[in-house]
Amino acid sequence: MTAPRTLPQPPAVTGCSLIAGALVVGDAGEHRSTNPADGTPIEPAFGLVGAAEVERAAAAALACFDDYRARSDEDRALFLEAVAAELEAMRPQLVERATAETGLPSARIENEIGRASGQFRLFAREVRLGAFHGLRRDSALPERTPAPRSEIEMRKIPLGPVAVFGASNFPLAFSTAGGDTASALAAGCPVIVKGHSAHAGTAELAGQAISRAAERTGMPAGVCSVLFGSGAVVGQLLAAHPAIAAIGFTGSQAAGTALMATAAARPRPVPVYAEMSSINPVVLTRDALRERCVAEAAGLVGSLTLGSGQFCTNPGLVFVEESPESTAFRSEIASAIEATTGQTMLTAGIRAAFDAGVERMEAAGATRLAAGAPGPGPNAPGPLVLLTDAETFVAASAMHEEVFGAAALLVTYRDTAELHAALDALGGQLTATVRMTNSAADLEFARALLPRLERLAGRIIINEWPTGVEVIDSMVHGGPFPATSDSRTTSVGTLAIERFLRPVAYQNLPAGLQPAPFVDRVLPGRVDGELHGS
């Protein structure tokens, strides 16, 4: 490992990890990101780190934890807003680097910068509101018989340093400066990010933005580090390190469950909040197809192919009742899909996994309904829709797995019992969608379906397509396993802060020892069973 270096001005990719605000070049090998559109490597090379750098980052995060969590809500909010401003100031560098590393268009990256900075501002607002403290107080009852009661107060405190693993499909909004990082920092937890190798330069730039914001606002340097190294080495070392109190992850089910196993096997297990796998079933009613068959086909294909299908809420599974309407729908889908051309996928590995997933579905009995043309370059497969029936689907577990990319499986069912059996065969999902009309028959159908969908998914959608997630207070981006590792949480929206907090009760605490949120007594909370200030 070379000596630490200061951040470059103006911001530039250096090929370094960031540990407590300093640039560090590892000596455990080199890595270059690759342009997925043409397969060319992108300079500079990143020096990969190992166990010593993980230890150093973890020690810095743990050392600054009590200092950082003790900062006032206003100071922490100002820090989060400073991160947003630094990201926006770095817009030219982020767009140039991220488009090269992902093959995504500049407009998409511009949008992600806005979403990433918006998340930090949203959590700044949440911190200022103060509700996340979860304050409760039950007054003393000294005269109660047969035994008096002391005053008991409760608040939520941050867990400790959090390890964050960025996503491949969102180089900004779900990565280094994504929602896991924003919500953990908002909660009062230092963060160590395992930078994603597919967009290492983008990850480094985002890490520089956070480090600059920490310096500008007087936050401890150890509040954020970004490490580049082997997932099997650095990722597992982070998951096992005793300083790490929680893990935020977005990625494959295999990698997520590996982290879960490591975290559970620790002498002191820690929670893993992993968003992993979802095929997001869509149910279209006969009345909906009768009224708007062409529009439904166009909407499905548009949602399916957006971003080459590389969204975690991509509609990968569609149910239609066997009928003349569904026959016409299949024809419209075929026409729409055959008019499409493939877009560049994020990495060669994702392209290979897409091809393997399609082969797995076909081997299980699905047939091709229609396919689009491949796009230019080595990683732009043509979109496609496969076809099967509900009986085959229920029996073929291989059809229940995600194919990450622009591929969907259309399943026909004969009656409601077959539909229910098919839905019950699925694992947990991020979303479940019903496309319907306001007819009495459709309302009755949806009313009967709703309890089953509530058990299945974290978000239920009516007459909109699932692709896209709003970053707002009421959003749930989660669901039962394998959509996520913990169905009680969300990785998007202000409720995400709850993942990195835990309750502590204080009994008979003298006034001189009370933490700041209790002293203020104007924050939202529950006093003697009644809500105040909300």
**Per-residue confidence (pLDDT) for residue 521, from 0 to 100:** 64
**pLDDT digit string, tens, across residues 320-350:** 999 999 999 999 999 999 999 999 999 999 9
**Per-residue confidence (pLDDT) for residue 534, from 0 to 100:** 60
CB burial of residue 138 (10 Å; 0-12, 13-18, 19+): middle
Could you tell me the domains of the chain? Answer: 17-128+158-276+487-498 (3.40.605.10), 281-462 (3.40.309.10)
C-alpha–C-alpha distance, residues 104 and 101, integer Å = 8
- Report the relative pairing of strands 384-389 and 525-527 from DSSP bridges: unpaired
**Per-residue confidence (pLDDT) for residue 518, from 0 to 100:** 87
**Per-residue confidence (pLDDT) for residue 3, from 0 to 100:** 53
Instruction: Show the CA angle centred on residue 278, arms to residues 277 and 280, nearest 5°.
Output: 175
> What radius of gyration, in Å, describes the C-alpha atoms of the chain?
25
The token pair at 384 is 């496609």
CA distances from 230 to 54, 140, 235, 471 (A): 12, 55, 7, 31
C-alpha–C-alpha distance, residues 277 and 504, integer Å = 33
SS (H, E, C) 442-459: HHHHHHHHHHHHHHHEEE
Question: What phi-psi label fits residue 326: left (phi over 0), alpha (psi between -120 and 50 degrees) or beta?
Answer: alpha
| pLDDT tens, per residue, the chain with 534 residues | 455 668 998 899 999 999 999 999 999 999 999 999 999 999 999 999 999 999 999 999 999 999 999 999 999 999 999 999 999 999 999 999 999 999 999 999 999 999 999 999 999 999 999 999 999 999 999 999 999 999 999 999 999 999 999 898 999 999 999 999 999 999 999 999 999 999 999 999 999 999 999 999 999 999 999 999 988 899 999 999 999 999 999 999 999 999 999 999 999 999 999 999 999 999 999 999 999 999 999 999 999 999 999 999 999 999 999 999 999 999 999 999 999 999 999 999 999 999 999 999 999 999 999 999 999 999 999 999 999 999 999 999 999 999 999 999 999 999 999 999 999 999 999 999 999 999 999 999 999 999 999 999 999 999 999 998 999 999 999 999 999 999 999 999 999 999 999 999 999 999 889 898 888 767 788 888 888 876
Q: Would you call 85 helix, strand, or coil by DSSP?
A: helix
φ, ψ of residue 189 in degrees (nearest 5): -105, 125
Residues known to be catalytic: 275, 312
**Per-residue confidence (pLDDT) for residue 368, from 0 to 100:** 97
C-alpha–C-alpha distance, residues 318 and 8, integer Å = 49
**Per-residue confidence (pLDDT) for residue 529, from 0 to 100:** 87
Find how far residue 70's CA is from the centre of its chain. 27
Q: Would you call 506 helix, strand, or coil by DSSP?
A: strand
**pLDDT digit string, tens, across residues 4-37:** 668 998 899 999 999 999 999 999 999 999 999 9
